[in-house]
Amino acid sequence: MLRIRSLNVAYGGLHALTDLSIEVGEGQFVAVVGPNGAGKTTLFKAISGSVTPLSGEITYGGRDLMKMPPAERARLGIAHVPEGRQVFASMTVLENLEMGAYAGRGRVDWKTLLPSILDLFPVLDERKDQLAGTLSGGEQQMLAIGRGLASAPELLMLDEPSMGLAPTIVDAIFDRVHQIHQQHNLTILLVEQRVAEALESCDLGYVLETGRVVLEGTHDALMSNEQVRRAYLGM
End-to-end CA distance of the chain: 34
The answer on pLDDT for 231 being more than 80 is: no
What pTM was estimated for this model as a whole? 0.92
In angstroms, rounded to a whole number, what is the distance separating the alpha carbons of residues 117 and 145? 9
pLDDT over 70 (residue 235)? no
pLDDT on residue 130 = 98
Class of CATH domain 77-188: alpha beta
Looking at residue 189, what is its pLDDT?
A: 98
Q: Say which residues have a Cβ less than 8 Å from residue 89's Cβ, sequence separation at least 6.
A: 131, 132, 133
Calculate mean pLDDT across residues 202-225: 92
Q: Tell me, what's the pLDDT at 103?
A: 60
* CB contact set of 179 (below 8 Å; sequence gap of 6+): 120
Question: What is the arrangement of strands in the sheet containing 212-218, beginning at the earlier edge strand?
Answer: 78-81, 155-159, 187-192, 29-33, 204-209, 212-218
Asked if 208 and 21 touch (Cβ cutoff 8 Å), the reply is no
- Exposed, middle or buried by CB within 10 Å (0-12, 13-18, 19+), for 162? buried
pLDDT tens for each residue of 88-141? 999 999 999 999 988 667 777 888 899 999 999 999 999 999 999 999 999 999
**By the 8 A CB rule, do 104 and 153 touch?**
yes
Quick one: pLDDT band at residue 214, thresholds 50, 70, 90?
very high
Please state the domain extents for the chain: 77-188
